[in-house]
Structure 1
């Protein structure tokens, strides 16, 4: 066999080997990428940089370098199947209990958080110790997002809803906290464990205790703090208003100065509940509006200050209410809180 013939036969073989190696590397990379979602604490950070847009994917958000270690908590992805290539233009499909979800508003909020990180600000804190997480691994699925206001200003802690099956922070957590921060208040958004009201309230109590304990390093005042909640999150806010953090296994700390509640059918209260601000859509298909009416009436009869706003043609889970009759409700809620902040 001639030397030229041997070379000609070797070329196709070499090309075949190169193709096999390439395919193996591609599959290995794909498997590694899948592994990112199995163990979110061990992110393989992508090379994505800069801002998101509505064409960005879930993968882009979770793997964004700014969110390393907590990107899995930005979007409501708890224990659910989802397409990691889904674009943010379809983010509303991740929030089945919510309405008026504006993809552009979600993107703006995420980009604001990216900018905060670019300025060197810490925006995420884990409030459970490593020992607590080892004892109860589900506590790894918790954390506090921090939207910093003026030094030593009072703080608000915001509890998004989601029927205790997911945490809708991008719609009724981060946007609220952004507004509060821009007004000079320190705002935290709680990412709590899905699965039920009791454990969610325990997480809220633990988070409040963490803020009190670390108020100096966080630069926040613990006087006259407020708790905000929407839907399931409003139930949590109401319970802490009634029983304080100690009622859910935490330290004996002051109850919130004010509770802000959006669209929930929570009916119970105590005679020592703090002043309460309530908003509700009249077209709510999840909450029985008469339940809200009766609770407000009973609280007022018990001598508790309540400010109550109902909005026509507004359904459940409206968030900031952009484009609805509820738009601007957070401004009124802030004014209500400010009435009760001591000089």
Structure 2
């Protein structure tokens, strides 16, 4: 074979290899990581979470880092130190939900969606720090969107976002945990409104029902949930959509409401060093006097930011919240 012909053959083979590489790189990421296992444990480090291949592109949102100083060598057994406004943080529960997400990715499911367009992110770069984690339930079941707290300075998803969404998913409901911009209540509510609008727009492809959806929130996240309950997504720049069928609120001093607020489920610890319990109870009483259905639970010797309340008198409160929601889901 002549030298020129050899060169032509080599170039053709190279082009075929290059085309094959391009084809592989364009596959959905969920397919690429579908065979990855690699569970975490309490001895795993922050670095392990950030670099886990299942979380490529959004690993920075798993833990409440939010541009704060942190030690990548820190073990997950000390994850509570990343959540200064929270209490009763159980490392085992944190690891369980992280591993649940790893398992979902191993099954080829997509668990993270960005609800802002690339143009919106270019216009407002901080919007890159947003998204929704999807904990899939039964196809066509109603959805809940969960807003973790953190004083609008961090997003405590590992303690009061992912665990709640995991429980809802295991009960057959579709659940989303919101990653929102820190820095203020207004922008966080705008992100929540945008996320709900995205879910409604993509309900068919996501496999969720938009009827009787609920919004859950804890601490700062409960303020967000209450605001959407009062004014709907359109009140914060979202689509003109129905308000949530039910709002679930945990430990917040949010005091305002409207007479059109949906039925509301409220939980509070009596040993809260951040929220004034009397403020919570005044709002509950005022809402009831306005004809709004409110179910209120106060737990003894429980402090602020208790999450699922594991090991406290509040443990199991999410079961009651689900029953409250189910009571208002239309047949």
Superposition TM-score, scaled by structure 1 size = 0.87
Q: Deviations over 1:110-161 (max 9, x none)?
A: 0011001001111000000000000000000000000000000000000000
Query: Measured at CA, do residues 305 and 14 of structure 1 come closer, stay the same or move farther in structure 2, by a change above 3 Å?
Result: farther
Q: Residue 146 of structure 1 corresponds to which residue in structure 2?
A: 134
Asked whether the equivalents of residues 34 and 106 of structure 2 are also in contact (C-alpha less than 8 Å), the reply is no
Aligned partners of 1:16, 1:83: CA distance in 2, in Å?
58
- How far off is 1:42 after superposition? 17
Asked whether the equivalents of residues 45 and 63 of structure 1 are also in contact (C-alpha less than 8 Å), the reply is no
- How far off is 1:24 after superposition? 38
Alignment of 1:192 onto 2:180: yes
- How far off is 1:29 after superposition? 28
Aligned partners of 2:100, 2:154: CA distance in 1, in Å?
22
Q: Deviations over 1:273-292 (max 9, x none)?
A: 00000000000000000000
Asked whether the equivalents of residues 42 and 69 of structure 1 are also in contact (C-alpha less than 8 Å), the reply is no
Q: Deviations over 1:223-260 (max 9, x none)?
A: 00000000000000000000000000111100000000
Instruction: Report the secondary structure of 2:134's partner residue.
Output: strand
Q: Residue 171 of structure 1 corresponds to which residue in structure 2?
A: 159
Deviates more, 1:102-111 or 1:234-243: 102-111
Asked whether the equivalents of residues 61 and 71 of structure 1 are also in contact (C-alpha less than 8 Å), the reply is yes
Q: Residue 5 of structure 1 corresponds to which residue in structure 2?
A: none
Aligned partners of 1:25, 1:285: CA distance in 2, in Å?
69
Query: Measured at CA, do residues 17 and 154 of structure 1 come closer, stay the same or move farther in structure 2, by a change above 3 Å?
Result: same
- How far off is 1:326 after superposition? 0.2
Alignment of 1:282 onto 2:270: yes
List runs of 5+ in structure 1 lacking aligned partners. Answer: 1-12
Q: Residue 62 of structure 1 corresponds to which residue in structure 2?
A: 50
Q: Deviations over 1:190-241 (max 9, x none)?
A: 0000000000000000000000000000000000000000000000000000
Query: Measured at CA, do residues 44 and 30 of structure 1 come closer, stay the same or move farther in structure 2, by a change above 3 Å?
Result: farther
- How far off is 1:76 after superposition? 0.2
Q: Residue 225 of structure 2 corresponds to which residue in structure 1?
A: 237
Aligned partners of 2:208, 2:296: CA distance in 1, in Å?
29
Asked which structure has the greater CA Rg, the reply is: 1
Asked whether the equivalents of residues 57 and 85 of structure 1 are also in contact (C-alpha less than 8 Å), the reply is yes
Q: Give the paired residue count.
A: 331
Asked whether the equivalents of residues 147 and 217 of structure 2 are also in contact (C-alpha less than 8 Å), the reply is yes
Aligned partners of 2:66, 2:4: CA distance in 1, in Å?
43
- How far off is 1:79 after superposition? 1.6
Asked whether the equivalents of residues 230 and 261 of structure 1 are also in contact (C-alpha less than 8 Å), the reply is yes
Q: Deviations over 1:64-112 (max 9, x none)?
A: 0000000000000002000011110110000000000011111111001
Asked whether the equivalents of residues 208 and 245 of structure 1 are also in contact (C-alpha less than 8 Å), the reply is yes
Instruction: Report the secondary structure of 2:108's partner residue.
Output: coil
Asked whether the equivalents of residues 31 and 108 of structure 2 are also in contact (C-alpha less than 8 Å), the reply is no
Instruction: Report the secondary structure of 2:315's partner residue.
Output: coil
Asked whether the equivalents of residues 127 and 207 of structure 1 are also in contact (C-alpha less than 8 Å), the reply is yes
Alignment equivalent of 1:315, drawn from 298, 303, 311: 303
